[in-house]
Chain A
Amino acid sequence: MRRFARLFEELDQTTKTNDRIRSLVSYLEDAEEEDKLWSVALLSGKRPKRGVNSTRMKEWAAEEAGIPFWLFEESYQVVGDMAETISLVLPFREGNNNDSLTDWMEKIIAIAGEEEEVKRQFVVNSWKELRKKERLIFNKLIGGSFRIGVSQKTMVRALSKHSGKGVSELAHRLTGQWSPQTHTYHSLIEEGAGDEDLSKPYPFYLAYPLDEKSDFNAKPEEWYAERKWDGIRGQLISRGGEVFVWTRGEELVTEKYPELMALRQFLPEGVVLDGEILSYKDRLPLPFSELQRRIGRKNVGKKLLCDVPIIMVAYDLLEYNGKDLRASSLLERRTILEKVVSAVNHPNLHISRLLEFKNKNDLAKIRQESRQHRTEGLMLKRKNSEYKVGRKRGDWWKWKVDPLVIDAVMIYAMRGHGRRANLYTDYTFAVWNNKELVPFTKAYSGLTDDEFRQVDRFVKANILEKFGPVRSVRPELVFEIAFEGIAKSTHHKSGISLRFPRMNRWRQDKKPEEANTLTDLKEMLSIYG
């Protein structure tokens, strides 16, 4: 447990990916095999269920600390983390227990089924035996709240450095059903949980935003133009009689999308499609906010399947007959892709239609209509381009639509995070509804450091009320808020939610009365929602 506590502390101390990988690798070098597996499990979010009721934990801690429960609660309000509050109020000296992480995990799992008094004794004794830093982790583990801000990707990279295995291979091995009880480190990392490699996706090729410096001549004989779909970028893989769906975040999401799993019997063997996962109904994509309802869900119910059906719009073919096609030209890949999609002939697989144009003016016109088609703009791809790795200038450009904008009044402010933690940089904005300001969005980016400092000064001098960390501010400053989409929402008082809202500029020329109204927003919703 001691070594794991040090890892936890090190990871807590830095947000730099490389430092985190270094800490993880050095931990993996030090740790016993069984501890390694438990750490990988915990860092992957595979934690045991809560074994002890959290109110009881608080009560026991308060009792041991000799403080009344209300004082514990006051302290918790300040600390903001229950496991941490408990570890801080405990009056015990440093313990000297040397049991391993695995030993502790076994104890913690076993205690879940015991009587309350047994649990109490176990918890209090554990507090006494553990070192102060270990108590925090113990509380999180037994309370079912263990979480650590390390992405799966970072963890996999560290594991790859340590084990010498490839990143995608490891990422795949860690997906699926396994736990430290069913597997050993060796069986999981060396042999995998099963069917390895078959699902392996290709690294994605990403477009660059089109700007004045872009080398783009708009000649139809050299370029393809398509719509820029507003969904999730993904690869649909058909190998070994199975289909796999990967997203750009190297996440295997096949089970989330039964509509794509249904393509299994139609897709030829040895094919990898690159495209966009979209929710699609009545010949039009649904707003991204609808798709979002599917993203977080692993098990989708009938109603959701019916409300938000999924399709894939394919725009590239990376593998055909089991052969890697990435080095051939897009023209060739696209030709085969068209054949594949029409042979599959299934309503859940579409092809991204090519747009006709003669020059850049034509494209500009088509781009203007992007929102009507619920798309984000245009994609421009050179016909002779290879499929590269990562974001590269030159062959693929994205030409996004201009954002929607609205003028709004800042009414609340909160301190920022990271390097802006001393400044008020997180704002809530409102529009007018008759004489009342109705909050409708938050935004915390888009201003220069200098502007943030000025606004921060204004906030500090114009605080009206405090609600926890939130300050209500004299409604005087007007900002132009830009956003990519607008949707109906039941979670917001205003009844709308925005996609990617940010401050486009500070309208120092405008008075608060001149800001837009809720009616204006509703109108935007009816056009673009």
Chain B
Amino acid sequence: MKNPLLVFNSNGIYCPKGDFYIDPWKPVDKAIITHAHSDHAKAGHRHYLSHHDSKSILKQRLGWEIKLETKDYGEIIKINEVKVSLHPAGHILGSAQIRVEAGGEVWCVSGDYKTQPDPIAVNFEPVPCHTFITECTFGLPVYQWPDEAETITQIENWWKENQQKGKISLISAYSLGKAQRILALIDQSIGKIYCHGAVHTVNELYKRAKKLQGHFPYLSSEIKKEALIGTLIIAPPSAVSSSWAGKLKPLSVGAVSGWMMLRGSKRRQNVDRGFILSDHADWQGLNKAIRQTQSENVICTHGYAEVFAEWLNQNGYNGMSEKTFFESENSEVDIEN
């Protein structure tokens, strides 16, 4: 491609014509942030631009003093001669795809996205473009999500079973997005729900923005251990694998993530139960989304990028892969997938 609209450089995805970055991993002047997950929203940029709904979380995570401008979905911003707009990605609250247009050429950066509906995030909307930069965290045909409702029923049944056995149910789910999705969907009348501090902080922001309802207090150390029997606790994976969780007894641990599709991943996480629920697109979702963009060029990042690009190549697209820093070696456990 000659003079591409967006390039990958050592700081991140860069637009030379507009002189801005999308989700840069090193400090830059202008950063457009797809969503507030830590692998996409880094600290240290001079100017930030994001969706309105990402505002409080970004400030809470990156510092209240950051210079942040926010926009609604579909609003067009002109940066030099480049037209930029945000479009729903369906990943978490405030998550956006970034559409970039100049000289009749349209590119779209998906950020993280899912095509399944979400109780809180605005549902994914395909953006017609010439070049689509897509994530493919779950870009293999073995990842095909069951219905969300089916998974939630499984979680509820597991919780009830644990209540009968006099156990605490501890859910491992990342604290921004997944935890609130579960809270919004689960039958809160089954029993009392407590949240780990990291989850609670996000809950409060969601509640203030009227995106979440219900009573699920912070699990403080003052709460008596006996009072936890039969309750459901939601905590991030890092807390679940720490000594903090060891003190909860008797306990059953369930991990909620797309990785739970594979028995081996479940075994490696050493949890009692795995529940399949992801905020990323599955195999069918990725293919459908790409089809709907009607793009010719697809640049794959995140996850199985090379394999997925090859698959696209064999299916009439010009598929490429680019390395990004949106992933860590520990992706099964740490990253917000």
Contacts and interface: CB of A to CB of B under 8 A. Distances in A.
Interface of A: 12-14, 65, 67-68, 71-72, 74-75, 78-81, 84-85, 88-89, 91, 415, 417-419, 421-422, 460
Nearest to A87: B142
B141 interface: yes
A13 B264 CA distance: 11
Contact of A13 (B144, B262, B272): B272
B142 A89 contact: yes
Nearest to A88: B142
Given A71-B307, A79-B264, A418 B270 contact: yes
A81 B263 contact: yes
Q: What secondary structure prevails in chain B residues at the interface with A? A: loop
B142 A85 contact: yes
Contact of B261 (A71, A88, A415, A417): A88
Contacts of A74: 140, 304, 307
Nearest to A415: B268
Nearest to A62: B141
Nearest to B140: A75
A71 B263 contact: no
Contacts of A91: 144
B263 A12 contact: yes
B141 A13 contact: no
A418 B269 CA distance: 7
A14 B143 CA distance: 23
Given A14-B272, A418-B270, A84 B329 contact: no
Which 3 A/B pairs are nearest by Cβ-Cβ distance? A88-B142, A421-B268, A89-B141
B307 A88 contact: no
B245 to A, nearest CB: 11
A82 to B, nearest CB: 12
A421 B330 CA distance: 11
A81 B261 CA distance: 13
A79 B270 contact: no
A132 B138 CA distance: 19
A84 B241 contact: no
B142 A422 contact: no
B314 interface: yes
Nearest to B142: A88
A13 B172 CA distance: 16
Nearest to A418: B270
B140 A78 contact: yes
A74 B269 CA distance: 22
Contacts of A418: 270
B142 A79 contact: yes
Contacts of B144: 88, 91
Contacts of A84: 262-263
Contacts of A89: 141-142
9 contacts: A13-B272, A68-B311, A78-B262, A88-B143, A88-B262, A417-B268, A421-B267, A422-B333, A460-B329
A460 B241 CA distance: 18
A67 to B, nearest CB: 5
A419 B270 contact: yes
A422 B269 CA distance: 7
A424 to B, nearest CB: 11
A454 to B, nearest CB: 16
